[in-house]
Amino acid sequence: MNIIFKRKSVRTYLDIDVDDATVEQIIRAGMAAPSAKNQRPWEFYVIRNKETLAKLATCTPYSRPVANAPVAIVACYRTKDVFEPMMTLLDMSCCCENMLIQAAALDMGSVWLSFAPHKERQEPAKEALNLPEGLEVFAVLPVGYPRGEGKIIDRFDPARIHWEE
């Protein structure tokens, strides 16, 4: 469980490539996430092209970290052929958290850049990636070797725990 507490949001990266095997390990962790009725709504796009990364960096007010990452994992979800459409975003959240934890376990940095459920963020990303109909962008996870140490924040707050005796 220590790796959960090691994970932090990393927004700047060294100019060092991340190999395909490392990216695959991160995505494999995402695919290990639970999903409603095992619908596994996810599809992933691995982006290394600098022009595409630059386009993704302009899609939201918060997506600038994509521009300086060596690679980004775009986590998408299917809107067709899913059993529980209302659960899709929850499924994708589990998936992305698994990928962030696995990235930290591999000493990589990443940050969750949220696109869904904001159509004004999703549409330019869909266009930049030329996504097919029935596929939506959930989040973009830039991945790279962290530039600097960063800070791990202890978020535990015992006041939010309510014990029933």
Angle, CA of 35, 32 and 3, to the nearest 5°: 115
Q: In the CATH scheme, what is the code of domain 2-146? A: 3.40.109.10
If one counts every other C-beta atom within 10 angstroms of the C-beta of residue 44, the result is: 18
pLDDT in tens, 119-164: 999 999 999 999 999 999 999 999 999 998 778 889 999 999 999 9
pLDDT in tens, 4-14: 998 999 999 99
Q: Is the peptide bond before 117 cis (omega within 30 degrees of 0)?
A: yes
Encoded tokens for 65: 């970290």
Q: Is 62 exposed, middle or buried (0-12, 13-18, 19+ CB in 10 A)?
A: middle
pTM of the predicted structure, to 2 decimals: 0.94
Q: Where are the domains of the chain?
A: 2-146
